[in-house]
């Protein structure tokens, strides 16, 4: 059974968790409960946690998140429900992720870091394709998947295609879409000057490169600087794709969004 840590000083949250009586039936041990930063460190030094729920003041939360990023970067952080129904919903989301992380298929081939990276890529593919409904859904899943991207800062979406735009890209590459995405991650994905770069294939066949600042990074993140940095980086990555995979790609457009949240299908705030 999965083990949990609840860190909260909010009576409503504590009451919501206390309403759950049969923890074992939903696949969890009853959570260890602490109320602040010091309690979090104490609990984690004594007890393993597969998932952590935070519902404390912003100051305490910032301290805890910084500690978790340094010492427990792969432990999922799930949302705090304010009713039994909400708690059960967020625990269900956590359990689905933990089951995937601990599945035999993944255990034989990759570690938790690898699986989380795959899950993040799949989630942000949904974001780019407009399949995440709200900012709340975005933020909740980013925490669950331990994404370091900052959802509130301007981000870029770079569109790439081959020289023959009338044909679908994945149909032109005989290795198939899955192998193409792996090739794209090899050439494009990574962190650059405080920006996380994530390539994916849109449902209509276009290659899209999402570039989003990382949380807490102090680099110059003006739109002009990001655009110049990413244009140069993308050109180098396109040359790599040409040399190693024989794909002749080119940039067809760069879109600027005021924040990552603007990509949610429920938001229309884009530039």
Residuewise pLDDT in 10s, the chain (271 residues)? 999 999 999 999 999 999 999 999 999 999 999 999 999 999 999 999 999 999 999 999 999 999 999 999 999 999 999 999 999 999 999 999 999 998 866 666 788 898 999 999 999 999 998 899 999 999 999 999 999 999 999 999 999 987 644 344 545 555 567 788 888 888 999 999 999 999 998 877 789 999 999 988 877 788 999 999 999 999 999 999 888 888 889 999 999 999 999 999 866 443 3
Confidence at residue 166, expressed as pLDDT on a 0 to 100 scale: 38
Burial class (CB in 10 A: 0-12, 13-18, 19+), 191: exposed
Q: What distance in Å separates the CA atoms of residue 55 and residue 69, rounded to the nearest whole number?
A: 17
Query: With the CA atoms of 139, 142, 148 and 150 taken in that order, what torsion angle do they form, in degrees rounded to the nearest 10?
Result: -30
Confidence at residue 176, expressed as pLDDT on a 0 to 100 scale: 67
Confidence at residue 271, expressed as pLDDT on a 0 to 100 scale: 38
Confidence at residue 107, expressed as pLDDT on a 0 to 100 scale: 62
Confidence at residue 162, expressed as pLDDT on a 0 to 100 scale: 74
If you search the block for the tokens 């959802």, which residue do you land on? 151
Confidence at residue 221, expressed as pLDDT on a 0 to 100 scale: 80
Q: Which domains does the chain have, with CATH numbers?
A: 4-102 (3.40.50.2300), 127-263 (3.30.70)
Read off the pTM: 0.88
What tokens appear for 230 in the block?
A: 């990413």
Instruction: Answer whether 264's CB lies under 8 Å from 134's CB.
Output: yes
- From 50, 52, 73, select the one nearest 1 (Cα to Cα): 50
3-state helix/strand/coil string of the chain = CECEEEEECCHHHHHHHHCCCCHHHHCECCCEEECCHHHHHHHHHHCCCCEEEEECCHHHHHHHHHHHHHHCCCCEEECCCCCHHHHHHHHHHHHHHHHHHCCHHHHCCCCHHHHHHHHHHHHHHHHHCCCCCCHHHHHHHHHHCCCCECCCCCEEEEEEEECCCCCCHHHHCCCCHHHHHHHHHHHHCEEECCEEEEEEECCCCCEEEEEEEECCCCCCCCHHHHHHHHHHHHHHHHHHHHHHHCCCEEEEEEEEECCHHHHCCCCCCCC
Instruction: Answer whether 132's CB lies under 8 Å from 126's CB.
Output: yes
């Amino acid at each position: 059974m999965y083990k949990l840590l609840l860190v909260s000083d909010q009576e409503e949250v504590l009451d919501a968790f206390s309403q759950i009586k049969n923890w074992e039936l939903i696949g969890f041990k009853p959570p260890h409960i602490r109320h602040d930063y010091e309690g979090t460190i104490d609990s984690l030094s004594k007890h393993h946690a597969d998932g952590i729920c935070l519902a404390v003041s912003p100051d305490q939360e910032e301290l805890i998140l910084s500690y978790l990023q340094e010492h427990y970067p792969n432990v999922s952080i799930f949302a705090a429900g304010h009713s039994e129904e909400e708690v059960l919903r967020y625990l269900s989301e956590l359990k689905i992720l933990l089951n995937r992380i601990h599945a035999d298929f993944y255990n034989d081939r990759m570690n938790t870091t690898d699986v989380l990276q795959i899950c993040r890529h799949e989630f942000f593919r949904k974001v780019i394709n407009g399949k995440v409904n709200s900012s709340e859904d975005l933020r909740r899943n980013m925490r669950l998947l331990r994404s370091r991207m900052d959802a509130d800062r301007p981000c870029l979406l770079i569109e790439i295609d081959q020289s023959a735009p009338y044909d679908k890209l994945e149909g032109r590459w005989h290795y198939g879409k899955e192998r193409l995405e792996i090739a794209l991650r090899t050439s494009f994905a990574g962190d650059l000057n405080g920006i996380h770069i994530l390539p994916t294939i849109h449902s209509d066949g276009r290659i899209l490169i999402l570039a989003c600042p990382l949380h807490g990074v102090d680099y110059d993140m003006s739109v002009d600087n990001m655009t110049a940095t990413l244009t140069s980086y993308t050109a180098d990555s396109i040359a790599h794709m040409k040399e190693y995979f024989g794909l002749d790609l080119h940039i067809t457009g760069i879109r600027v969004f005021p924040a990552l949240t603007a990509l949610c299908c429920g938001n229309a705030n884009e530039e």
